[in-house]
Amino acid sequence: MSARKIEEARAVLEVAAPIEYATADEHRTTKITPDQTTPGTRTLANEVPVALEFDGSPYAVMMLTPADLEDFAVGFALSERIIARSDEIARIDVRQGTRGIGIDVRLEREHSARLAERRRAIPGQSGCGICGLTSIEEALPQLTPLTAAPRLAQTALFRALESLPARQTLNQTTGAVHAASFCRSDGEILVVREDVGRHNAFDKVIGHMAREGLDAFSGFALLTSRCSYELVQKAVLARIPILATISAPTELAVSIAHAANLTLIALARGDSALVFNDPFGSIAK
């Protein structure tokens, strides 16, 4: 990484006054069932990009609940085999920034050689969507907001939810994979892909849509996972205007959905779902 990029990454974290990141935030929601809507609120876990440096050099960006950061830094260093014992760390400096947190782990001089041996060139992984990135700007790219979304009948969402389990053939066998799907606005499922990683499954759907020339605006994505910020980014980048997931979103996912005008539905189950963002009034009875 060039010196300029290192300085840019650090500049993102520099502010005049410290920022206290909350571990959770409350958001207004609208609960929908097949025949009614009810306003409410939901407390969401927060995730924040954390840029890890060892001896002043960028190592990785991870997404964390912003608590117990020193514990994380030590555990991460042990897991990565950068250190063998916690006393090999001289100090840990935490910097709060406007778009994330920086952690600089300084090693005792006699243990710095191991760091060069463990410098990572990470292959793709199934769980974390950004392992190997070294800049918060890489983790949170600027997104072009969506300009419209199709109308989605509430009954269409529940039709897709009812149909999806039968299409999850690998999960029926293993019970250990996520599914991503793209559905028409009437709830008909057009494509389903499964993978151990929710990010991978969604990428497969997006890739299929691109190869087949499917119109992303014509429907919505439905995923059998929690809604992390990466999934929101993928939907916006693919120009899919509506994203629904069966588990809860994080606070960052909702914030990005608001900024990018993505219609976001989560905790979508057979009898209800929560609408976290509906910028175009797309959800209709």
The reply to whether 227 belongs to the active site is no
Would you say 212 and 219 are in contact if contact means Cβ atoms under 8 Å apart? no
- Please state, in angstroms and rounded to a whole number, the distance separating the CA atoms of residues 164 and 264: 19
Give the Cβ contact number of residue 62 at 10 Å.
Answer: 20
DSSP symbols for 158-189: HHHHHHHHHH-HHHHHHS--EEEEEEETTS-E
- From residue 261, how far is each of 92, 138, 237 by CA, in Å? 38, 21, 12
> What's the gap between Cα 171 and its chain centre?
22
With a CB cutoff of 8 Å and minimum separation 6, the contacts of 194 are 168, 169, 170, 171, 177, 178, 179, 180, 201
- Please state, in angstroms and rounded to a whole number, the distance separating the CA atoms of residues 27 and 66: 18
Q: Which residues, listed in sequence order, are joined to residue 26 by a DSSP beta bridge?
A: 43
As given in the structure block, the two tokens for residue 173 are: 């066998």
- From residue 137, how far is each of 21, 51, 130 by CA, in Å? 18, 10, 12
Tell me the catalytic residues: 128
